[in-house]
Amino acid sequence: MDTNRLEAFSDGVFAIAITLLVLEIKVPPPSTALGAELLHLWPSYLAYAVSFLAIGAIWINHHAMFKHIVRVDGMLLLLNVLHLMLIAFVPFPTAVLAEAFHRGTDEPVAAAFYGGILTVIGIFVNVMWRYAAHEYRPIDTRLTAKKVRKIRRLFLVGPIVYAIATVVALVLPWLAVLLFILLNLFYLWPRWGHRSTASHIGDPSTSRDRSEGD
**What is the per-residue pLDDT for 136?**
62
What is the arithmetic mean of pLDDT over 146-162?
89
Residue 191 has what pLDDT? Answer: 58
Q: What value does the mean pLDDT of the chain take?
A: 85
Q: Domain for residue 205, yes or no?
A: no
Query: Is residue 135 domain-resident?
Result: yes
Give the end-to-end CA distance of the chain in Å, rounded to a whole number: 24
Closest CA to 61 of 135, 144, 198, 157: 157
Q: What percent of the chain has pLDDT over 70?
A: 86
Q: Residue 204 domain-assigned? A: no
Residue 210 counted as domain residue: no
Please check the confidence at residue 7 and state whether its pLDDT lies above 80: yes
Domain range for 18 is 4-198
**203: pLDDT strictly greater than 70:** no
- What is the pLDDT at residue 209? 42
Q: Summarize the confidence of residues 147-157 as an average pLDDT.
A: 88
Q: Cα dist. 174→46, 104, 108, 157 in Å?
A: 11, 12, 9, 20
CA distance 111 to 59: 22
Is position 212 within any domain? no
**Number of domains within the chain:** 1
Answer whether residue 207 is part of any domain. Answer: no
Cβ atoms of residues 129 and 72 within 8 Å:
no
Average pLDDT over residues 127-141: 79
- Assess if residue 206 is contained within a domain: no
Whether residue 89 is predicted with pLDDT greater than 60 in this model: the reply is yes
Instruction: Say what the pLDDT of residue 30 is.
Output: 83
Confidence band, pLDDT 50/70/90 cuts, at residue 190: low
